[in-house]
Amino acid sequence: MSANVGNQNLLVQIASYNTNLQGTLGLPQDLVDWLSPTLQVSSFLTSSHGKQAPDIVAVGFQELLPLHLGLTGLSKKVIESRDTLIRSQIEAHSPNKDRYSLVAKVCNVGVALLVYVRDEALSGKVCDVQTQWTGCGPAWMGNKGAVGVRFRLAGPKSNDVGEIFTFVNAHLTAHAPKLANRIADFHHIVATLLFPPIPSSSSQALTTMYSTSHLFFLGDLNFRLELPATHPLAGPEAQTALVDALKKNVEREELKEHDQLLIQRRKGTVFVGFREGEFWQFQCTYKYHLKEVDSYSTKRTPSWTDRILYTTYSDSSDSPDKSAIRNVLYTSIPSYTTSDHKPIVAVLLVPTSILSSSSSTSSPPLLRLPSSYTPKPDPYWILKRHAGRACDRIIGVIWSLFWFIGFGNAVLGMGNFIFSLVAWSWAKKRSPQIDVAA
């Protein structure tokens, strides 16, 4: 029996990375720094049973491949290469060379999610695997949106339905002034990322991501550090001073009070019921110069755009800042330099009853939300989904055509197309007319 079993906890590792539209070129570096952080916290997890590998690993990507290819639906090859690479890396670097199985993978345009379980701990317990996706870009396109994986871990007894785990990876609207759009994106995801009814439920209605025992939300959420105009570090002229301040732990803890996501979560306008680790303990994950470890671009205010949030059924709505989930590690990986984002990772100890031999539940425990918040499915979710997918494909094909005739440059391709059209029209008018009657 492994160390976490005795403590009735599952070790869950979650990683997120916006790869900056680079497709198969997005991860040339070894993944050990990113996907094997349990090596760094082995002293915490060490017991008489030895070092502990994560029981569940969830890896999310945003901007997985060039947008025109994603809109066209050509993500299968990239996501399969990611699966092969990730699984080989976590198995090679796990403390005990554990074996892992892929629970599910799902991708919509450039937003992708892969979830794995450790065979020794959870073999035979995974069931009712479901995947889902939704778009929240213009006309519900998938350039922004979310994907989800849900599964049930059965209990030790035949009549024990166990607990439900739900993972959601999202990419929300960019740019600092568009806070309202990001809030709307989140609520659209809640209403349209829908799953089948929960096991043993008398209702046959579709369920939102909140109908689960444990919920994890990750991704490039694009919430920004927004300093008031009166702040001494606000404005372009103070950019250098702001960057210097963000390199210091004490300064970051103070500046975090101007983080849009933290402010809105406290107000209850977004991510109701979620908790988060101390994100200010690591430097802002955006926006960096490419090929630079620690150099921010002056085009944007540095921000913690990439985040991991969570909640579990034993969390109380009366204590929104406390969670039964223990955040063992929450950090960014500065050494990755192929994107203007830095990847992030969290290691969580999640309390569960499915490992207890005395566990016996006829229905899975569900999250407890404030009485003022009742998430509801959007009755038009299917229409919006198909409309968005149709727009994705139409624009993706046209964009790819321009990209092709522009030799890898869509703008040049559009210019070539317009030039060819004008030239053809001019040539047609200049061509001699044949007198058919003669």
pLDDT, tens digit, 9 for 90 and up, residues 146-169: 999 999 999 877 778 899 999 999
β-bridge mates for residue 62, sequence order: 18
What φ, ψ does residue 384 adopt, rounded to 5°? -65, -40
Whether residue 424 sits in one domain with residue 284: no
Judging by DSSP bridges, how do beta strands 56-62 and 9-18 pair with one another? parallel
Q: Which residue has the higher pLDDT, 374 or 1?
A: 374
Instruction: Say what the alpha-carbon torsion angle 174, 177, 179, 180 is, to the nearest 10 degrees.
Output: -110
Whether residue 399 sits in one domain with residue 286: no
Q: Within a domain: residue 95? A: yes
Q: Which helix (H) or strand (E) holds 118?
A: strand 111-118
Measured distance CA(81)–CA(112) in Å, rounded: 12
Q: Within a domain: residue 437? A: no
Q: Within a domain: residue 229? A: no
Looking up tokens 């809109």, which residue turns up?
A: 71
Tell me what the mean pLDDT of segment 427-433 comes to.
Answer: 65
The percentage of the chain sitting over the pLDDT mark of 70, rounded to a whole number, equals: 84
Q: Could you read off the pLDDT of 294-307 as tens digits, one per residue?
A: 999 988 999 999 99
Which among 360, 378, 396 is the end of a domain? Answer: 378
Whether residue 114 sits in one domain with residue 203: yes
* DSSP string for residues in 101-114: EEEEEEEETTEEEE
Tell me what the mean pLDDT of segment 400-426 comes to.
Answer: 64
CATH code, 130: 3.60.10.10
Residue 427 scores a pLDDT above 60? yes
Whether residue 418 sits in one domain with residue 354: no
Q: Which residue has the higher pLDDT, 85 or 288?
A: 288
Find the range with the poorest average confidence among 77-86, 111-120, 340-349: 77-86
Whether residue 372 sits in one domain with residue 303: yes
Q: Which residue has the higher pLDDT, 44 or 256?
A: 256
Whether residue 419 sits in one domain with residue 329: no
Whether residue 324 sits in one domain with residue 352: yes
- Nearest C-alpha neighbor of 404 from the set 135, 44, 89, 69: 69
Q: Which helix (H) or strand (E) holds 330?
A: strand 326-332
Confidence (pLDDT) at 423: 61
Tell me what the mean pLDDT of segment 341-357 comes to.
Answer: 88
For residue 297, give the 3-state DSSP assignment: coil
Whether residue 420 sits in one domain with residue 284: no
Confidence (pLDDT) at 202: 72
Tell me what the mean pLDDT of segment 128-156 comes to.
Answer: 96
CA 387 from centre of chain: 23
Q: Within a domain: residue 237? A: no
CA 139 from centre of chain: 21
Q: Within a domain: residue 238? A: no
Q: Within a domain: residue 254? A: no
Which among 354, 378, 402 is the end of a domain? Answer: 378
Host domain of residue 160 = 3-224+259-378
Whether residue 201 sits in one domain with residue 144: yes
Kindly indicate the confidence band of residue 405, based on its pLDDT and cuts at 50, 70 and 90.
confident
pTM above 0.85, yes or no: yes
Q: Which residue has the higher pLDDT, 364 or 404?
A: 364
- Nearest C-alpha neighbor of 142 from the set 384, 403, 414, 383: 384
Q: Within a domain: residue 191? A: yes
Judge contact between 85 and 34, C-beta under 8 A.
no
* Domains identified in the chain, total number: 2
Kindly indicate the confidence band of residue 425, based on its pLDDT and cuts at 50, 70 and 90.
low
Q: Which residue has the higher pLDDT, 127 or 427?
A: 127
**Radius of gyration for the chain, computed over Cα atoms and rounded to the nearest angstrom:** 24
Those residues whose C-beta lies under 8 Å from the C-beta of residue 166, and which sit 6 or more positions away, are: 148, 149, 150, 195, 209, 212, 214, 215, 216
Confidence (pLDDT) at 5: 37
Whether residue 402 sits in one domain with residue 339: no
Residue 245 scores a pLDDT above 90? yes
Confidence (pLDDT) at 230: 95
Instruction: Say what the alpha-carbon torsion angle 208, 210, 215, 218 is, to the nearest 10 degrees.
Output: 60
Confidence (pLDDT) at 175: 96
Measured distance CA(339)–CA(288) in Å, rounded: 8
Q: Could you read off the pLDDT of 252-294 as tens digits, one per residue?
A: 999 999 999 999 999 999 999 999 999 999 999 999 999 888 9
Q: Within a domain: residue 299? A: yes
Q: Could you read off the pLDDT of 226-238 as tens digits, one per residue?
A: 999 999 999 999 9
* DSSP string for residues in 33-54: HHH-GGGTTHHHH-BTTB----
Whether residue 337 sits in one domain with residue 322: yes
Whether residue 314 sits in one domain with residue 301: yes
Residue 1 scores a pLDDT above 50? no
Confidence (pLDDT) at 397: 94
